[in-house]
Structure 1
């Protein structure tokens, strides 16, 4: 066998990944839903987020786990989450995993693919999307949808607090750029997306983006695979503590999508 053959290399990497995922999954008891929260320097905000999320999930008919992905934080995010996870009063189990590759896309990928629950997904640590959106998301998933995503721009959606001008302008331009890439989707970037495991895995193993184009590529791969994607309009709150920088991050967003376009050709 040619050890330098690309297929052999890819198979070896994938086999290693599957073995690592299996090992990590074995450490976590089986649940119906895993909720992934990517976190970068969230030591101050994450305790409230975890308490609210755990209390909400404990009231639902499906079993759940929260998985926090510490994405190269420079603060005590990981230590804070571990301390909370050891708290016997926690309503649902909480796990924390690290991600050495910078970028929200990399962190989300790490969290989603490290589990084995039937349903999984992620939302941002600022809880900008109401937690009760999960109820409708799970209903659609249990009825056969492959993915359910929240939308700030679908008919019926509202902004609890108006976005800053820079974010509104940049967001509009980004939606124009991605409109032709993900058909029929009003908002590719809202930080709330949940999936049926098999459909997610089939799409995710093809994804390469780790930055702002991650959501676009994942939705695009899902659509190419024939997945049914449901978009839920939500009342979204633009968090004052958001780490998104309209100018610098906006440029990175456009560059990521342009690179994705070249890669998909």
Structure 2
């Protein structure tokens, strides 16, 4: 880490928050390689553990001494512990300065503004360690999970690692109120942002420095939602997130304001979801060159199928509502009503699938995609119109209920065909770029 001056008697030196780097649509991240034994350089730290604090004069010394003793006894690489003081108003700066003087591996810095996310962004942005981590000062998480947390990052297996209290193998002691809030929040993340990680709020996370350098400029939050936003963007970019079941004991004296934090988190979920839906985030600059596929299932198929089903369900409801409105309100015949309802719902369907299902951002090829979507619409129109024509031939003056039932069945068949055409023709997956050994392989 870039060392600040040694602390003055009044407390640790201030560390200015780095300005966010301009978001440039550059190349993807390099290949994820294991860190060499000399990754930290001569005398440099391989791991930098950040402890964000605000008015923690009573718990800080106990936490840092225990963490230092654990790392000294169990961690095989050079390490650093950074105390990030978030504008504390009690004796926390003096305690931080004393710990900085007492231990060579401890560095105390001070930020003049509050915010856990701001502290992590600032310290991680200045750190030179190839692996960056943080944990809460209350040490609710058992420290025996620290080495399993950072080992996949050092070995090159994963990009980020998180402790989870909601996975099998975790042992958690906490009250029903916090348990309910935590599980409800993760359900919101799964429903609203399609998150697959199990625990966003556990204060026990790590990230590789190269990933942090590219990912942090995209994260806007400076408070408690910071790490949730970090994980959502990393997951959407296809980065690998390793989860470690932890033993966790609730701190009854925690200073976190649950209601205010929950409200801020919901605002963050809305903001991030809107940015992902509109393609405002250049996630392509976070993707690794190697493709990580599971055998037998094409990459992204499950996620794309889920997104397509959600968009298709909404589009089907809109289509049926429009058809009923045009048939009864506008008094149109079945064929014109079907064609117009299908056209209006399909335009929105193509746009939604382009952004949400297949992750195509920006305006490039948007007209071409809409034109191809209209071709797919034509195929659906043939199926549904043919079904109506067959119904008219079989039953003279069919009831509206029969028309709707036939249209629903035909629309489901058209929907399945639409997914295949969208995936293979309209939004085909780009072939992966050859890289390193793949480019040199005779195969």
TM-score when scaled to structure 2?
0.51
The question of whether the paired residues in 2 share the 8 Å contact of 1:69 and 1:99 is answered with: yes
Q: d(CA) in 1 for partners of 2:261 and 2:226?
A: 14
Query: Is 2:74 the counterpart of 1:74?
Result: no
Superposition pairs of residues 47-58 of structure 1, within 5 angstroms: 47-58=61-72
**Superposed counterparts of 1:138-177, under 5 Å:** 138-144=150-156, 145-159=158-172, 161-163=173-175, 165-177=176-188
Query: For 2:85 and 2:195, how far apart are their aligned partners in 1?
Result: 32
Retained in 2: the 8 A contact 1:69–1:110? no
Q: 1:249 to 1:206 in 2, by over 3 A?
A: closer
Choose from 18, 34, 40 the match for 2:54: 40
Native 8 Å contact 1:71 1:99 kept in 2: yes
Cα distance between partner residues in 2 of 1:182 and 1:191 = 21
Q: Give the structure 2 partner of residue 129 of structure 1.
A: 141
> 2:149 touches 2:206 (CA, 8 Å); kept in 1?
yes
Which digits, 9 at most, give the CA deviation of each residue in 1:76-119, with x for residues without a partner? 212211112112xx3x5111122233221111212221201011
Q: Distance in 2 between matches of 1:247 and 1:138?
A: 32
5+ long unaligned stretches in structure 1: 1-11, 16-28
Whether contact under 8 Å (2:130, 2:208) holds in the other structure is yes
SS at match of 1:86: helix
Number of residue-to-residue matches in the alignment: 236
Worse overlay, 99-108 or 247-256: 247-256
CA RMSD of aligned residues (A): 1.9
Greater strand fraction, Structure 1 or Structure 2: 1
Q: Of the two, which has the highest radius of gyration?
A: 2
> Is contact 1:36-1:67 (8 Å) kept?
yes
Contact 1:211 1:256 in 2 (8 A): no
**Which of 1 and 2 has higher RCO (CA within 8 Å, sep 6+)?**
1
Asked if structure 2 preserves the Cα contact closer than 8 Å seen for 1:182 and 1:216, the reply is no
Equivalent-residue separation in structure 2 for 1:153 and 1:95 (angstroms):
33
Q: For residues 53-64 of structure 1, what are the structure 2 equivalents within 5 Å?
A: 53-59=67-73, 60-64=75-79
Report how far residue 183 of structure 1 moved.
3.1
Correspondences of 1:1-265 after superposition (within 5 Å): 14=21, 30-59=44-73, 60-87=75-102, 90=103, 92-144=104-156, 145-159=158-172, 161-163=173-175, 165-180=176-191, 181=193, 183-265=195-277
What's the offset of the Cα at 1:215? 1.3
Instruction: Please state whether the residue corresponding to 1:220 is helix, strand or coil.
Output: helix
**For the residues of structure 2 that align with 1:103 and 1:58, how far apart are their CA atoms?**
29
The question of whether the paired residues in 2 share the 8 Å contact of 1:146 and 1:200 is answered with no
**Corresponding residue of 2:289:** none
Classify the secondary structure of the residue corresponding to 1:34: strand
Q: Which runs of 5+ in 2 are unaligned?
A: 1-18, 23-42, 278-443
SS in 2 for 1:194: strand
Cα shift readout 1:34-64 (whole Å, capped 9, x = no counterpart): 0001001111100000100111111221100
Q: Which stretch shifts more, 251-260 or 181-190?
A: 251-260
Report the equivalent of 2:307.
none
